[in-house]
Homo-oligomer: A and B are copies of this chain.
Amino acid sequence: MLAQELLKKIQDVVGPENCLRDEADRFCYAFDSSLLSQINNWVPDLVVRVKTTEQVATILKLANEYRVPVVPRGAGTGQCCGSVAWRGGITLDLSGMNQILSFDLENLQVVVQPGIVHAELNKALAPHGFFFPPDPGSTKMCTLGGMVAFNSSGQRSVKYGTTKQYILGLEVVLPTGEVITTGGAKSRALKSVAGYDLTGLFVGSEGTLGVVTRIRLKVLPIPEKRGLVVAFFDELEASGKAVVQIFRGRLLPSAIEIMDRTAMKAAGMYKPDLNLPDAEAMLLFEVDGSPVDVTYQAQKIAEICRQFTQRVEWTDDPKRLGELWAARGVVGAAAGRVKEGATRVYIGEDICVPVVMVPQALKKIQELSVKYNIPIVTYGHIGDGNLHAAPVINTYDQEEIEKVKKLGDEIHRMALAMEGTTTGEHGVGLTRAQYMEEELGLSLDVMRRIKKLLDPNNILNPGKMALEGE
């Protein structure tokens, strides 16, 4: 419980109507998508809805004075328990700061508040012919602030990279309440090497180093056209080899997605009219660019795939493109269908391994599924080795929960053994904190020292990312 005195002071800052004290209200903030948040009830003591940078600064100063944890939160679509107030304290709801502050499109940039939803930003940019390339699956819900906090990416990261490379500057409230602007105090430059890259340090810091209150981001011209090549493989290995040959063929698709047998089955159950054939794996290559280039790339990709399988199709017809892409689109939602009354849970869901190891990783995940008797639907971004394994369990069954924890642990350890990472794009948060000593080695110590430097009282999103060790 917060001190009454502190509560009063916060109410003076944001107004009582923006301080949610009712348990039912606060309960909504106890979860993200992670299994960990779902099996705990980490309800914040207070939810504060903020509207301005000044409010955020004042609240952080108060939190420092009273030594109360503050957890920044956007839409709560995260998968690693990053925005959950597991030690109580204040959840700072930034979703109300959702404006586009400036369109500077002649200069390829816009300035936004952190609460703007990704799809809304791209909707506003589209009429001008521009887009913000990183494309998380949660586009219709997730906020730019969350994307910055977790350095989000998605299917198109193989060509377009991650959020980080589009962030030109940030306004950040430090844990101690000072407000800084990274990337140049007043800059609208597209490129600068003045000073350390603090922008990059804050991007991906999961709300542990500061609260982002303004984002200056780079946008790109929307490609004129997109096309899709779909190939079905009888052997997982062949799919991995095809991807390598595509790169060697001097091609850079905008997305290379894989769905293994389990994912194709789930998608088929969810949407039978997809008519997916029997196969060990399905690859989807999206290409984009000028109309002639889309045809050229797609034909060349199809040709390379035919070295490994005869079942290859390509299209640039928007209708057919939508149908084929739908198979990949539904798989997240479809995963739950593979077992009656069960739910897809997020644990071990974001490993990234060297590209050539993807087929082996998929096989191993299928073996783990047998070992634990838990269905796993696996799909992901094979172009950069990022696999999303979706275990499906009965979340009311304590035994299944214990089993899936072990399963998730084995997936994470497999990724590390394969010289990969436990998290390609979802973040560390609480769920992957336990692997950081092994994964990061001595560099974790440097991270801990930076955390302590900027947040001496450890009030901002404490206990996340393994930052508290000695």
- Judge if A28 is at the interface, Cβ distance under 8 Å: no
Contact B157 A191, beta carbon cutoff 8 Å: yes
- Judge if A244 is at the interface, Cβ distance under 8 Å: yes
Q: In the complex, what distance in Å separates the CA atom of A247 from the CA atom of B289?
A: 13
Number of copies: 2
Q: Which residues of B contact A195 (CB under 8 A)?
A: 428, 436, 439-440, 443-444, 447, 465
Partner of A164, one of B197, B296, B446: B197
Q: In the complex, what distance in Å separates the CA atom of A449 from the CA atom of B178?
A: 14
Contact A129 B290, beta carbon cutoff 8 Å: no
Give the interface of A toward B (CB within 8 A): 104-108, 128-129, 150-151, 153, 157, 161-162, 164-165, 174, 178-182, 184-198, 200-201, 203-205, 209, 220-224, 244, 247-252, 289-293, 295-297, 300, 352-356, 384-386, 416, 419-428, 432, 435-436, 438-447, 449-450, 453-454, 465
Q: In the complex, what distance in Å separates the CA atom of A293 from the CA atom of B252?
A: 13
Contact A436 B221, beta carbon cutoff 8 Å: no
Contact B197 A201, beta carbon cutoff 8 Å: yes
A153's nearest neighbour on chain B, judged by CB, is: B191
Q: Which residues of B contact A297 (CB under 8 A)?
A: 290
Q: In the complex, what distance in Å separates the CA atom of A355 from the CA atom of B191?
A: 10
Q: Which residues of B contact A220 (CB under 8 A)?
A: 252
**Extra inter-chain contacts (12) besides given A106-B247, A196-B447, A290-B293, CB under 8 Å:** A106-B354, A107-B354, A164-B197, A180-B443, A181-B442, A187-B419, A188-B420, A191-B384, A192-B424, A196-B205, A197-B201, A200-B200
Q: Which residues of B contact A420 (CB under 8 A)?
A: 187-189
A108's nearest neighbour on chain B, judged by CB, is: B247
Whether A385 touches B450, Cβ cut-off 8 Å, given contacts A186-B419, A205-B196, is no
Contact B292 A436, beta carbon cutoff 8 Å: no
Q: How far is the CB of A134 from chain B (nearest CB, A)?
A: 12
Contact B439 A194, beta carbon cutoff 8 Å: yes
Contact A194 B421, beta carbon cutoff 8 Å: yes
Q: Which residues of B contact A428 (CB under 8 A)?
A: 193-195
Contact B424 A180, beta carbon cutoff 8 Å: no
Partner of A421, one of B180, B189, B465: B189
Contact A221 B200, beta carbon cutoff 8 Å: no
Q: Which residues of B contact A386 (CB under 8 A)?
A: 191
Contact A129 B248, beta carbon cutoff 8 Å: yes
Closest 10 CB pairs of A and B: A185-B441, A200-B200, A293-B293, A192-B421, A221-B250, A180-B443, A190-B384, A188-B419, A292-B292, A189-B421
